[in-house]
Chains A and B, each alone.
Chain A
């Protein structure tokens, strides 16, 4: 065998080995969390409120989805209508500028977003640690995903469909609401699910915007909210076994929800 073929073969073997190794690590991470989570989780954790050292996770589970929901309520309308303007009315230069700013928004470290949420929403607007402050901070992070994916789906509406609508005498707004948005519906839903899966896993934005609450928040502002990722972070740093179990149970719930959301989003036809 010539040296060249030997090199080709060894590259192939090394490459396969690396792929297998990376897959093993993926299984190790997910499997390790699932394994510990299954061992730690108790039915009582799902029906009781808790404080990361005792009790359950109900407040954190509900709080997480309340925060994610607030984020979605903030980001989906903004993202969808911004995408409508970009695709329908925008000119190239303007769209590029918006895209660069959207990219800047995606690149901002989560803790800096959290600091901004603290300075602007918690202090300046006086929301306090609250659902609104935490949710909007999450929403700011979700916005680029919603905007970008909606924009892609809107621009994938076939020319013929648009032209058919216009030739039938549809106005711009009819075209948008009756043709474009229904056509891009699945893209918008995919982006929403994706944004939910990302939002549910965030911690750093929420540390100084949502706070922590041993029960459920009572109002949108000035009432702190519990969330699952905080239980993971705080729980694993506590000395007691039960705190660790709460952390693992939270990680398990989180990873199952995030993966199922991604799984669902892959099965939506675009």
Chain B
């Protein structure tokens, strides 16, 4: 190929390599553009109230401060915001010790071959589609929770705040957090396993030679040495949990306009609410429902990005799903 065409090819691939940038910029501009009417109309009320009502779409829209909105409509995301944060944080609380213990055990006590098998089995959790988790949650998890586990927890752990009180159908904060914890387990375990197996071998072996038990090596040397990586892995897990939609939508109990009273209560998250409400938003001739949901989406994506980007800056950019660079791909 002549020189000129070489240059054209280079320019062509250059344009294509901008695709991620273009897509991200497009996404944010569209979300922002569609959010502006809602930001103007709702202001801070959007974050401080928890009452969300799409309004009477069959009645003529009303004029509020010069903006046409559906009659009786109200847009407050506090409940969804709270639901997203509480389910994700609880999921992190459950997945955090499990992923640390698993990655320590497989690196300290188990041979390489078995370790690879265990890690790839755990990575299978990342391959199960989100909606299948939801199906499993509805069919298996919810009955077990509401019939056996939640009554026991309410009875014996009732002294802990928010652990006592009525049991509902099983769909709720606890079910969502449990399902989410399974979904974030692979990415956390695989990142932690990566950093632990890269941990300096002379230091580990030196400590063992000095008479430390493997548990002591894990707790006193590896965990202390990897504090930052552990934080990064948690942020990655949190980022995944915050944005999870279908599984949570199916096991959260889809609560609207009612704050949960305990951890068995139905809840709603921003992602799940967005999926539920978008359908009815199309009925709204003033468009305010769509604008408000766009703002909801914008807030959700910003929260998710903060967690993910912090995590990625710590454990290294370029990590995809549960699959770390290298052996497990």
Contacts and interface: CB of A to CB of B under 8 A. Distances in A.
**Interface size bucket, A side?**
35 or more
Q: Secondary structure at chain A's binding surface: helix, strand, loop or mixed?
A: helix
Which 4 A-B residue pairings sit nearest by Cβ, starting from the closest?
A: A201-B129, A109-B243, A15-B105, A107-B308
A32 B129 contact: no
A18 B130 CA distance: 23
Given A19-B118, A204-B246, 19 more contacts: A81-B13, A85-B13, A97-B21, A98-B18, A100-B317, A103-B308, A107-B305, A111-B271, A115-B297, A116-B30, A143-B23, A171-B1, A190-B329, A201-B127, A233-B250, A248-B135, A255-B128, A259-B124, A270-B329
Interface of B: 1, 5-6, 9-10, 12-14, 16-21, 23-24, 26-27, 30-31, 34, 98, 101-102, 104-106, 109, 118, 120-122, 124-125, 127-136, 138-140, 182, 185, 213-216, 218, 239, 242-246, 249-250, 271, 274-275, 278-279, 293-294, 297, 300-301, 304-305, 308-309, 312, 317-321, 323, 325, 329
B109 A15 contact: yes
A30 B12 contact: no
A255 B5 CA distance: 46
Contact of B325 (A152, A204, A229): A152
B20 A101 contact: yes
A112 B30 contact: no
Interface string A166-177: 000001111000
A202 B134 CA distance: 12
A127 B134 CA distance: 30
A8 B216 contact: yes
A251 B132 contact: yes
A42 interface: no
Contacts of B250: 233, 236
A103 B318 contact: yes
Given A32-B139, A86-B17, A254-B129, A108 B105 contact: no
Contacts of A254: 129, 132
Contacts of B10: 85, 89, 172
Contacts of A144: 20, 320
B13 A107 contact: no
A200 B9 CA distance: 33
A82 B13 CA distance: 6
Contacts of A96: 317
A9 B133 CA distance: 34
Contacts of B317: 96, 99-100, 103
A227 to B, nearest CB: 10
Contact of A98 (B20, B242, B319): B20
